[in-house]
Structure 1
């Protein structure tokens, strides 16, 4: 059976550990914009076309479900 002092030390240790753990944050949202220089048939003939890609970074790595072919040296 644990004494009161041992119980108190144990619970204080648990609380300190919980407080020291990093706070959960939302995953960062990343955005990239790509600019493509494009030639068209009408004036001004040279225009910039943009595409925007937005994704959320995950906290860890996730294995891909698609198979990636690998080549073996002959």
Structure 2
């Protein structure tokens, strides 16, 4: 069974997939402080999750898809 922290971090990954969302919106949804969200995002980045963004602007999970010269996704 996942801890609350792990569940919240997994939700952040889902919330940042394909869209920009602010830490404030995540905090409100999860019932935690904005500071906690920043810590969760820092932890996710530390384990290699490609989350990009900045406080006040929002965060988004960077896509792993790369385009080659022929327009084929790999």
TM-score of the two chains, using structure 1 as the length reference? 0.25
Structure showing greater relative contact order (alpha-carbon pairs closer than 8 Å, 6 or more residues apart): 2
Instruction: Give 1 or 2: higher helix fraction.
Output: 2
Instruction: Give 1 or 2: higher strand fraction.
Output: 1
